[in-house]
């Protein structure tokens, strides 16, 4: 098997690969809007046909929502290479507001920009362009060698952008069919334009909404101000006490299960040259506000948080009303890391709030999701093989990085299928995913295909 021949094939066939991506991008597979149900079916059918053209045994699987696409390729007989599962999603976000698009979102075109050519269309980066980098790498491998270097299961979802309601039941029902040695997920991005990344840690998420009630109705502040408790004042005091003067969260046992970053990973992070001044400056800020003994990159990738996402109470309309409100509410989210237990944190947070209520006040809570963090076992040999392969394609070495957000499917693969996932993507921060004028750099598409070819070669 010749990697050089595969890479040459990728380079020569880039125009054809781009046109195939354009065909998929023209399908308006918006999963959250029932008016586009048929389009989601069409996108699934397109992927099934494309996989079948490569010799993959592929089919569309119905769910209560949009269909899954599953395909299998056995690879060489007698190979001891790992069995891989590749995941992507073919559904896209809505395009509203349409008037902010410079062109039809489902009429993909290559546009020249100051940073080079880009593919402009909804789904070009999230996630059709990323998904097709892997398929095109497989296409080149099969064209040159007549087979793939290892067994691969292809798994494409149609509801990622609408909460994945069918995903967990499908994984549980199909665990024997989908189980592999390691999963590959292409729904992330480069660290910067020169450095690729493998995401090995994803923060979990806990959402809490609380409402504090005082009097049985809103009161006139001239008549009751002073003797009557004000729920906004109570809520404000509780919120202000959720962090100490150093930025640490004060919920009891909050830091149980929070690990320190290994020295070798920390060295990789330091080598990335993250510029927190530019990171904050781009949004009009200047000073890191989290835990004062941590670097900004640590705060984003490896530290838990407690953030207030919204506050309401009293009169907030135009003009002024001297009301003393009966109720005050807040929405609070916790980003979690390591082995923090979201349900234990929920109970400890609620107990902390109740302990600070003065007489005549009550509180009600409403939970909004509770998912644990995901941390991948980078001692699996596939991880270092993939990192080395990525480093050979891009100007700067690849690094194991964290992600501030959450990608639940990685946790589901671990919890349900019992396998770690490598999250490798080629998007850029300015791709405008979920926004008007989404784009995917041609360099990301081209070098993404070449990167997957190198990774397949390294893993085999």
* Per-residue pLDDT tens over the stretch 254-296: 999 999 999 999 999 999 999 999 999 988 999 999 999 999 9
User: What residues contact 11, with CB distance under 8 A and at least 6 apart?
Assistant: 446, 450
97: cis peptide before it, omega within 30°?
Answer: yes
Rounded to whole angstroms, the Cα distance separating 434 from 117 reads 20
Q: Tokens 């993404």 correspond to what residue?
A: 448
What pLDDT does 405 receive?
A: 80
Rounded to whole angstroms, the Cα distance separating 69 from 381 reads 28
Predicted confidence (pLDDT) at residue 26 exceeds the cutoff of 80: yes
The neighbouring-strand residues paired with 305 are 335
Look at domain 3-202+374-459 and name its CATH class. Answer: alpha beta
Q: Tokens 């070449």 correspond to what residue?
A: 450
Rounded to whole angstroms, the Cα distance separating 207 from 209 reads 7
Mean pLDDT of the chain: 96
What pLDDT does 1 receive?
A: 61
Predicted confidence (pLDDT) at residue 369 exceeds the cutoff of 80: yes
Rounded to whole angstroms, the Cα distance separating 185 from 155 reads 10
CA-wise closest residue to 16 among 148, 153, 132, 156? 132
Region of 26 (left: φ > 0; alpha: ψ -120 to 50; beta: rest) is alpha
User: What residues contact 441, with CB distance under 8 A and at least 6 apart?
Assistant: 115, 116, 117, 118, 119, 428, 431
Q: Are 194 and 394 in contact (CB under 8 A)?
A: yes
Looking at residues 415-423, what average pLDDT do you find? 95
Straight-line distance from the first to the last Cα atom of the chain, in angstroms, rounded to the nearest whole number: 10
Q: Tokens 């927190």 correspond to what residue?
A: 276
Tens digit of each residue's pLDDT (9 = 90 or more) over 329-363 = 999 999 999 999 999 999 999 999 999 999 999 99
Predicted confidence (pLDDT) at residue 392 exceeds the cutoff of 90: yes
Tokens of 443: 């360099």
Rounded to whole angstroms, the Cα distance separating 195 from 38 reads 39
Length of the chain: 460
What pLDDT does 407 receive?
A: 85
- Return the domain boundaries, the chain: 3-202+374-459, 204-258+304-371
CA distances to 57, 307, 323 from 317, in Å: 60, 25, 12
Compute the C-alpha angle 377/383/386, nearest 5°: 165
Tens digit of each residue's pLDDT (9 = 90 or more) over 137-170 = 999 999 999 999 999 999 999 999 998 999 999 9
Rounded to whole angstroms, the Cα distance separating 2 from 5 reads 5
Q: What is the DSSP string of 20-40?
A: HHHHHHTS--BTT-GGGHHHH
How many alpha carbons lie under 13 Å from residue 267 in its C-beta half-sphere?
Answer: 4
Look at domain 204-258+304-371 and name its CATH class. Answer: alpha beta
Q: What is the DSSP string of 124-165?
A: TTTTHHHHHHHHHHHHHHHHHHSS-SS-EEEEEES-GGGT-T
Same fold flag, 3-202+374-459 and 204-258+304-371: no
What pLDDT does 340 receive?
A: 97
How many alpha carbons lie under 13 Å from residue 172 in its C-beta half-sphere?
Answer: 5
Helix, strand or coil, per DSSP, at residue 58: strand
Q: Are 335 and 205 in contact (CB under 8 A)?
A: yes
What pLDDT does 77 receive?
A: 86
pLDDT: is 16 or 403 the higher one? 16
Q: Are 151 and 83 in contact (CB under 8 A)?
A: yes
Q: Tokens 């990192």 correspond to what residue?
A: 387
Rounded to whole angstroms, the Cα distance separating 436 from 103 reads 10
Tens digit of each residue's pLDDT (9 = 90 or more) over 268-277 = 999 999 999 9
Rg of the chain's alpha carbons, rounded to an integer? 25
Query: Count of CB atoms within 10 A of residue 331's CB?
Result: 16
Helix, strand or coil, per DSSP, at residue 316: coil
Looking at residues 317-334, what average pLDDT do you find? 96
Rounded to whole angstroms, the Cα distance separating 165 from 37 reads 15
């Amino acid at each position: 098997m010749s990697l050089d021949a595969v890479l040459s094939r990728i380079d020569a066939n880039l125009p054809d690969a781009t046109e195939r991506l354009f065909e998929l991008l023209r399908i308006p597979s918006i999963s959250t809007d029932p008016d586009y149900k048929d389009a989601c079916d069409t996108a699934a059918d397109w992927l099934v046909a494309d996989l079948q053209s490569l010799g993959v045994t592929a089919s569309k699987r119905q769910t209560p929502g949009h269909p899954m696409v599953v395909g299998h390729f056995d690879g060489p007989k007698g190979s001891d290479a790992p069995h891989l599962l590749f995941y992507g999603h073919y559904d896209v976000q809505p395009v509203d507001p349409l008037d902010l698009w410079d062109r039809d979102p489902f009429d993909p075109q290559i546009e020249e920009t100051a940073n080079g050519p880009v593919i402009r269309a909804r789904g070009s980066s999230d996630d059709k362009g990323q998904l097709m980098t892997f398929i095109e790498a497989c296409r080149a491998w099969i064209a040159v060698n007549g087979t793939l270097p290892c067994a691969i299961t292809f798994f494409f979802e149609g509801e990622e952008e609408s909460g994945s309601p069918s995903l967990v039941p499908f994984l549980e029902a199909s665990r024997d069919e989908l189980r592999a040695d390691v999963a590959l997920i292409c729904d992330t991005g480069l660290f910067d334009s020169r450095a690729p990344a493998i995401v090995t840690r994803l923060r979990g998420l806990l959402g809490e909404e609380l409402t504090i009630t005082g009097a049985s109705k809103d009161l006139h502040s001239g008549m009751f101000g002073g003797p009557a408790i004000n729920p906004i004042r109570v809520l404000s005091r509780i919120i202000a006490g959720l962090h100490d003067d150093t930025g640490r969260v004060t919920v009891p046992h909050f830091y149980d299960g929070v690990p320190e970053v290994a020295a070798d990973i920390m060295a990789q992070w330091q080598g990335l040259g993250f510029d927190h001044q530019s990171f904050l400056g781009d949004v009009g800020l200047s000073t890191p506000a989290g835990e004062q003994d941590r670097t900004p990159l640590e705060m984003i990738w490896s530290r838990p948080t407690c953030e207030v996402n919204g506050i309401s109470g009293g009169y907030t309309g135009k003009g002024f009303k001297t009301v003393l409100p009966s109720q005050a509410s807040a929405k609070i989210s916790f980003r979690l890391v390591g082995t923090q237990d979201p349900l234990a944190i929920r109970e400890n947070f609620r107990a902390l709030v109740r302990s600070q209520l003065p007489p005549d006040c009550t509180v009600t809570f409403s939970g909004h999701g509770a998912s644990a963090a995901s941390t991948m076992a980078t001692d699996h040999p596939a991880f270092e093989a993939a990192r080395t392969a990525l480093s050979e394609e891009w100007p700067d070495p690849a690094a194991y990085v964290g992600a501030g957000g959450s990608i639940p499917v990685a946790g589901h693969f671990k919890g349900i299928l019992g396998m770690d996932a490598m999250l490798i993507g080629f998007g850029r921060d300015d791709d405008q995913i979920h926004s008007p004028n989404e784009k995917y750099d041609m360099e990301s598409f081209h070098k993404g295909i070449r990167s997957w070819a190198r990774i397949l070669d390294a893993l085999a």
